[in-house]
Structure 1
Amino acid sequence: SADMRKQNISQGVNCLAYDEAIMAQQDRIQQEIATTNPLVSDRQDLSVLQGEYAAEDAIYQLKIKDLHKKYSHIRKTRPDGNCFYRAFGFAHLESLLDDSKELQRFKAVAAKSKLDLVNQGFTEFTIEDFHNTFMDLIELCEKQQSLGELLSSFNDQSVSDYIVVYLRLLTSGYLQREHVFFQHFIEGGRSVKEFCQQEVEPMSKESDHIHIIALAQALNVSILVEYMDRGEGGTVNNHVFPEGSEPRIFLLYRPGHYDILYK
């Protein structure tokens, strides 16, 4: 179906009489992003951030200094619109490698989650492979495998994307189950279901507060997001999802992108 998608996209584009050369150039740019950015990087010293902004970029340099007070390392994810789910999935599974109690709790929630989706009207055979891949990775962590195996699974595009799809489905399922609550946050007169079909389930759609709240609650995992933007003041504001919980996972948000932070 990826080929079908490509075909549909290219047919749409050809209708606009796009020139082949432009298409080829766009493909090259996409390829370049893909090959230069692993889906999930190794853990890097937080100081790599300094080099990403000009020395005279006072706002960002101050904010990076502020981050340094709390965090020592960063792990980057590819900027492909799926980065929130990939960062969350990797960071949480990584944390399970040395927390068997949380692993057992999480495994039970994950195992039951497929049935919840089926009961909500998702088609079992459509979601089965995604769920199986998700369970396989949790079991990989359970076998006390090395971090290296988890990292290479997340850098295998097909495995990694299956995890992203399943996390998107869980987010969609939770939003729809709690549609009465979430309806207030959806703009443009769309129903929660329409929002899920347009902004949650399709790959490469970026994530916002509403997605993070839903996934954190669906899996009962607390997420802290540090927001680094052009806002005034030299400090980075953070937000914990769900509010008041004790965060297990730390993410850095820069406009349009999420990476993983480590204390």
Structure 2
Amino acid sequence: MADEQQETSQGEMEGVNCLAYDEAIMARQDRIQQELAISIPLVSDRQDLSVLQSEYAEEDTIYQLKIKDPHKKYSYIRKTRPDGNCFYRAFGFSHLESLLDDGKELQKFKAVAAKSKLDLVNQGFTEFTIEDFHNTFMDLIELCEKQPALGELLSSFNDQSVSDYVVVYLRLLTSGYLQREHAFFQHFIEGGRSVKEFCQQEVEPMSKESDHIHIIALAQALNVSILVEYMDRGEGGTVNHHIFPEGSEPRIFLLYRPGHYDILYK
């Protein structure tokens, strides 16, 4: 009997040791990924689009072929840190950058952004909770009114606290729009979750990646058109694109590769 107990105890210990070992490996991988992410700017300088070629092995024929397609329409890329917040950061920077020399559109956007906080409060979001995030967002818009050098806007987006506050507010706007239009979006949500549950789990938390549903909602919430070029391992040597909302004239051009968004320039 004692021998059986000892064998059971040893088996349990081996199971615990294996679990601890697996957790240690996962923790180490997470640390490596975090260190790599931190070494990349939140928003980079603009680079020649040819830098993409060096990111894939020469024998990776699928991507090496697909990389050639964006070159027909675009010349430059601005990278964002792959931290799960890249869509919102790319959206925020790209749109404000486009407004630096378009005062008329900037004023329209400022009016929409100013009203957006009240819309969220009327939906039940706590004003005290969202106020600081909204103020930071408005501060950046007002900075653009002063027509600063591009480097000043870039510095703001590379200031972690400022940049993350903008991301948080854009996530809240996305959540707010999805919940306002819950009857429409409910059909696209899997797993038996309500729209509110989806927003609490997949939209509002930092580092949660974005998909079609997030892009549609933010584009509609701020009345900004976005074109996304999708580059994946699908068949064919071309890159497919989608415009949000459909039929609109895009101001923002993004490159999507599985799990990540960067900014494109013609």
TM-score by length of 2: 0.90
How far does residue 106 in structure 1 lie from its aligned partner after superposition? 0.3
Of 172-181 and 31-40, more deviation after overlay is shown by: 31-40
Instruction: Give deviations 1:53-91, integer Å, cap 9, x for gaps.
Output: 112222111111111000000000010100000000010
In structure 1, C-alpha distance between the alignment counterparts of 2:17 and 2:195, rounded to whole Å: 33
Change over 3 Å in CA distance of 1:18–1:160 after alignment to 2:
farther
Considering only aligned residues, what root-mean-square deviation do their CA atoms show, in Å?
5.9
1:226 corresponds in structure 2 to 229
Instruction: Give deviations 1:38-66, integer Å, cap 9, x for gaps.
Output: 00000000000001111222211111111
How far does residue 250 in structure 1 lie from its aligned partner after superposition? 0.3
How far does residue 132 in structure 1 lie from its aligned partner after superposition? 0.2
How far does residue 10 in structure 1 lie from its aligned partner after superposition? 27
Aligned with 2:117 (options 92, 107, 114): 114
Residue 177 of structure 2 is aligned to residue 170 of structure 1: no
In structure 1, C-alpha distance between the alignment counterparts of 2:7 and 2:100, rounded to whole Å: 41
Change over 3 Å in CA distance of 1:104–1:254 after alignment to 2:
same
**Which structure would you say has the larger Rg?**
2
How far does residue 8 in structure 1 lie from its aligned partner after superposition? 35
How far does residue 35 in structure 1 lie from its aligned partner after superposition? 3.2
In structure 1, C-alpha distance between the alignment counterparts of 2:94 and 2:115, rounded to whole Å: 21
Q: Secondary structure at the match of 2:82?
A: coil
In structure 1, C-alpha distance between the alignment counterparts of 2:70 and 2:25, rounded to whole Å: 40
Q: Secondary structure at the match of 1:17?
A: helix
In structure 2, C-alpha distance between the alignment counterparts of 1:102 and 1:72, rounded to whole Å: 25
Change over 3 Å in CA distance of 1:86–1:21 after alignment to 2:
same
How far does residue 170 in structure 1 lie from its aligned partner after superposition? 0.1
Unmatched 5+ stretches in structure 2: none
How far does residue 25 in structure 1 lie from its aligned partner after superposition? 3.7
How is 1:66-105 mapped onto 2 (pairs within 5 angstroms)? 66-105=69-108
Change over 3 Å in CA distance of 1:229–1:130 after alignment to 2:
same
Change over 3 Å in CA distance of 1:173–1:8 after alignment to 2:
farther
Q: Secondary structure at the match of 1:56?
A: coil
Change over 3 Å in CA distance of 1:139–1:216 after alignment to 2:
same
Q: Secondary structure at the match of 1:55?
A: coil
Of 180-189 and 165-174, more deviation after overlay is shown by: 180-189
Q: Secondary structure at the match of 1:250?
A: strand
How far does residue 33 in structure 1 lie from its aligned partner after superposition? 1.7
Instruction: Give deviations 1:8-39, integer Å, cap 9, x for gaps.
Output: 99999999868997687456424422332100
2:64 corresponds in structure 1 to 61
Unmatched 5+ stretches in structure 1: none
Instruction: Give deviations 1:230-263, integer Å, cap 9, x for gaps.
Output: 0111110000000110111000000000000001
TM-score by length of 1: 0.91
Change over 3 Å in CA distance of 1:31–1:14 after alignment to 2:
farther
Change over 3 Å in CA distance of 1:62–1:19 after alignment to 2:
closer
In structure 2, C-alpha distance between the alignment counterparts of 1:157 and 1:141, rounded to whole Å: 19
Change over 3 Å in CA distance of 1:186–1:35 after alignment to 2:
closer
Instruction: Give deviations 1:121-146, integer Å, cap 9, x for gaps.
Output: 00000000000000000011110011
In structure 2, C-alpha distance between the alignment counterparts of 1:10 and 1:164, rounded to whole Å: 49
Q: Secondary structure at the match of 1:189?
A: coil
How is 1:1-263 mapped onto 2 (pairs within 5 angstroms)? 25=28, 28-263=31-266
Change over 3 Å in CA distance of 1:16–1:61 after alignment to 2:
closer
Identity %: 91
Change over 3 Å in CA distance of 1:10–1:46 after alignment to 2:
farther
Q: Secondary structure at the match of 1:18?
A: helix
